[in-house]
Amino acid sequence: MVIAVLLSSINGFAQIKNAKTETVKIYGNCGMCKTTIEKAGNVKKVASVDWNKDTKMATLTYDGDKTNQDEILKRIALAGYDSEKFRAPDDVYAKLAGCCQYDRPVKTVAKNKEAGMDMNAGHGNHDHSQMAANKDAAQNQSQLKAVFDNYFSVKDALIKTDAATASAKAAELAASLKAVDMNKLSAEEHTAWMKVMQDLTANAESISKSKDVAKQRSAFAALSGSIYTLAKVSKQDTPVYYQHCPMYNGGKGANWLSKENAVKNPYYGSQMLTCGSTVETIK
């Protein structure tokens, strides 16, 4: 049995091309932690994680052309387990089984690491630290700016009931989604991104492949829910207005986001252009 497991592990590593191996500390307690940590970190033929519950050390083996240490550790953090670089969301940690709730490292240190700040900088180097933080914030914003801009372009096309333009702009949205570098997102943005990425992509592609404006609007309603999740955790240059149409979908209603407070309904266009209201302002 031991030999079989060992051979399976070796075969798993052999399937990973351009393999890099690194050892990092990941906090946890028990065998259940080991299962969760390894499941979160493993990606077939891309990354493999072997965590030791006694030493708290994990061996990461991964294809350096397809992923990196940060991406693996972020996935593990999103599963509830802190490392020396990334802190798990507090609500996720709180949901771990009692036996898995390990003693957490100092919160401020983990958060600073997570934000990309240089923990080795001298205490007198405050200006440089602030500059680094500002640079990170700008990078985070630029990562999602194209996503939001393309979303608004799709919305504007649907207001005009222009299926061809909506399709083209949705294709641009899908491309901007693929261009997002998760490593440059803030911790909150990364958590939200992981939750909505698949639905965002699926709905953007659905709109891009259709020339039926009714089907496009249906996908846009779902798309808007995911965009709202991102907008709530991403800093905006200007206010974004979360708006609601009570008539759409047989009276069930639907929401969308706009850069303008004045209502222009993407679900009905000129038929009921001003139907709806602003229900939230995101700043």
In total, how many domains does the chain have? 2
What is d(CA 90, CA 94) in angstroms, rounded to the nearest whole number? Answer: 6
130 within some domain: no
The tens digit of pLDDT for each residue in 70-120 reads 999 999 998 999 999 899 988 889 999 999 999 997 653 344 344 333 333
Domain identity same for 69 and 197: no
Domain identity same for 53 and 149: no
Domain identity same for 231 and 190: yes
Domain identity same for 188 and 103: no
Cα torsion 214, 218, 221, 227: sign? negative
Burial class (CB in 10 A: 0-12, 13-18, 19+), 53: middle
Domain identity same for 98 and 194: no
25 within some domain: yes
* Owning domain of residue 98: 2-114
What the block records as the tokens of 281 is 């302002």
pLDDT at residue 113, as a whole number: 44
| Cβ atoms 49, 76 nearer than 8 A | yes
Kindly report the average pLDDT of the chain as a whole number: 85
Domain identity same for 155 and 278: yes
pLDDT at residue 107, as a whole number: 56
Give the domain-ending residue among 114, 135, 157: 114
Domain identity same for 175 and 94: no
Domain identity same for 251 and 192: yes
**Residue 82's CATH number:** 3.30.70.100
Span 36-42, average pLDDT: 94
- Between 276 and 125, where is the model more confident? 276
Domain identity same for 86 and 149: no
19 within some domain: yes
Which is nearest to 147 in space by CA: 124, 110, 181, 186?
181
26 within some domain: yes
Polymer length in residues for the chain: 283
**CA–CA distance from 44 to each of 11, 19, 31, 48, 165 (Å)?**
11, 13, 21, 8, 38
- Between 109 and 142, where is the model more confident? 142
Give the domain-ending residue among 97, 114, 131: 114
Domain identity same for 149 and 259: yes
| Cβ atoms 227, 257 nearer than 8 A | yes
Q: Which are the contacts of 130, defined by CB distance < 8 A and separation ≥ 6?
A: none
Which is nearest to 22 in space by CA: 81, 87, 91, 85?
85
The tens digit of pLDDT for each residue in 194-234 reads 889 889 999 999 999 999 999 999 999 999 999 999 999 99
pLDDT at residue 122, as a whole number: 38
Domain identity same for 153 and 51: no
45 within some domain: yes
Domain identity same for 110 and 152: no
